[in-house]
Structure 1
């Protein structure tokens, strides 16, 4: 099928081709004929513009206003040409019959035509230049996950804010293309029909409130699940070729998709399903993976996941699309919550889940279609699962959807503990060397052997460091691992669950040495300890917290030094470093965290130390 712009320009192109042939044959129509012909074209485009506008508004097909404004541009062009042709006649009429009689017959003002064409060309050129140079608020690689995400959100909100002047200041950041299909299809999947279940008889006020803990003991039935899904995203009316849904959507574009991870639904085997609102059925996607990314929902009867196919809204609303799809998701979720309550289930949104893992569990790419929310359905007496640890993902610049990809990533989370994204450490061993001997033997060792540090020794050292804070709870521990048995090189964050969270993998020995003013002791270390403090808890009690934070960091660092001696290792503290490079090394935002201390660790090369 030809693009819309080709169809819209086709009458003009045919007329222009006919004029070109006529001119080549020396039979160009007279001025009066040209006037009449362009007037007929003008009337045709005016009728098409008005007809499309009235028809599509009447049928609530807002997206096809694309046709409306394309015809409108052509109408403006024809009006301009028409005025140029008739301007001399208008001028003669305004001068009166006497003057008009003495006015010589003017030729078509070709210069005016060229001026209009040049102005339109200049506007198009400026628009393309604006598109090419517009700065999108993408996350910065190497910036802190949490801080970079918040910063990206602020820039996105400003960028996507509208004003009367903003229309002229920027163009869309990416090419969104044509509208995707209104319904997602799984043609090769098995399907499960959804019978009517009778849910929805409860009054609105009652459905908006969670049922009592003892309201329901039996599992949710398949028919009831079908009613819940229908009242959230089902097709409630078909009008003018448009399938209207249970929840409203910006521009009637309906970007949301609903998925079900069913564990205890009567009449439905445990598994992952997609809801097809067009056919009111479930598409069977597969079994439940071992890790879904939503550990808080592992005990739920069912987990309902709302995604968005961003292009459905983005092709019309461009860089403002993420605002609309999230608000539209809220409409759908409130219907889902009320319908779940009407069925006697406790419907509860999961505020934290691993976006990428949950997307993989559903079989979606997380870019063109992203997970936005997850809601559990539990019987009244069921207790929520313990909360897991989450963190913002590392920034990754770029994305197929430009600013929309950036803001979706900025609002995403990832699991950091309980085996997801973390490295379990061996059980720590007790250091039995007498304290006086440990302190007496401690020296700053600056040379290390190339042998790796045993993982068991590192685990025990970290366990001894993890003591209750004395003055400040703002100190955070990162490690640059270069040579540790059983642990891949990279940057890690130590968790209070006695595990390591991998920030990024790779060889960072040279980067650590560079950040520490190129000191060889850091570059040669098997492990580099990097201590930082979080500003918010550090300064929560006032300026005195700054002093306390550095004292606390010194105490933690001393445990590192003493622990090394007790385990036959060598260590050296370093206080001189480039703050910006140190922050980039461990992936933190300097607006929210400060690096305060370095310390090297390794197998001692010899005992010549100061």
Structure 2
């Protein structure tokens, strides 16, 4: 007898959502995994150094400008996403402010179970303070530094040159963004195992939530120092992966922001 019900299909993106749900069936497993992680000194020690680096890379130190006189309410009210860039350069200090204040280290705490383990906290929230997000500034028009692809090293407060590629490929990576006119595009990647080691499939959701937290910090900071900024949802992941020379199985491209004058 034929069924009157159509066959339900599930998209791959919906599968990600469904597989990362907390259910009655898996919540005990998740709690057990978190408990095991929390008692594993070696795992916690490893999680305290969530910093990717490029040995031997040319580095440029970052120094933030002070913006304490800006009232938060004023900044929130004037923040707008804009791609109406002028093509003018921005200073390295402006880029430094955005990176250091938006996703920089704020303080150090010590694990109560393992007092000798130092844990650095940052200006954006992260599940378990595991910080899976890496930021790559594609510097198109920044004063004092050559055009190129860089990586923000949070701990050392520098940007380091990723490779010697030209920036001619940038226009093949993004959709609807006048990259010739913006000063920099910040690419966010996620090293998923930093979060998965503790939260399993649930960590999939945290990657995108945390990218959003960081992005909002940066968008507000850009407004506070008189810059324009716009989140980018249209990007070609494979092209960016090839340009950054990253392992796409381990490190995912998940977000981007365009910034300029």
Q: TM-score range by the shorter chain?
A: 0.7 to 0.9
Alpha-carbon contact 2:57-2:160 (below 8 Å) kept: yes
2:208 is the alignment partner of 1:326: yes
Q: Say if 1:251 and 1:297 are closer, same or farther in 2 by CA, change over 3 A.
A: farther
1:152 is aligned to: 12
Q: Say if 1:199 and 1:168 are closer, same or farther in 2 by CA, change over 3 A.
A: closer
Q: Distance in 1 between matches of 2:70 and 2:86?
A: 15
1:284 is aligned to: 161
Q: Distance in 2 between matches of 1:194 and 1:326?
A: 26
Q: Structure 1, residues 70-124: CA drift from partner, whole Å, max 9, x if none?
A: xxxxxxxxxxxxxxxxxxxxxxxxxxxxxxxxxxxxxxxxxxxxxxxxxxxxxxx
Alpha-carbon contact 1:261-1:288 (below 8 Å) kept: no
Q: Say if 1:377 and 1:200 are closer, same or farther in 2 by CA, change over 3 A.
A: farther
Q: Distance in 2 between matches of 1:339 and 1:211?
A: 12
2:21 is the alignment partner of 1:161: yes
Q: Structure 1, residues 351-400: CA drift from partner, whole Å, max 9, x if none?
A: 11101111222221222111110100121xxxxxxxxxxxxxxxxxxxxx
2:79 is the alignment partner of 1:210: yes
Question: What is the CA distance between 1:197 and its match in structure 2?
Answer: 2.4
Q: Distance in 1 between matches of 2:167 and 2:229?
A: 22
Q: Distance in 1 between matches of 2:209 and 2:81?
A: 29
Structural RMSD (CA): 3.0
Q: How does 1:311-460 map to 2 (within 5 A)?
A: 311-379=193-261
Q: Distance in 2 between matches of 1:224 and 1:235?
A: 17
Alpha-carbon contact 1:199-1:224 (below 8 Å) kept: no
2:108 is the alignment partner of 1:238: yes
TM-score (norm 1): 0.35
1:186 is aligned to: 54
Question: What is the CA distance between 1:308 and its match in structure 2?
Answer: 0.8
Question: What is the CA distance between 1:269 and its match in structure 2?
Answer: 1.3
Q: Which has the higher helix share?
A: 1
Q: Distance in 1 between matches of 2:93 and 2:64?
A: 5
Secondary structure at 2:11 match in 1: helix
Q: Say if 1:159 and 1:185 are closer, same or farther in 2 by CA, change over 3 A.
A: same
Secondary structure at 2:145 match in 1: coil
Gap runs ≥5 in structure 2: 1-8, 111-117
1:302 is aligned to: 184
* Aligned positions, number: 229
Q: Distance in 1 between matches of 2:205 and 2:249?
A: 16
Q: Distance in 2 between matches of 1:168 and 1:243?
A: 29
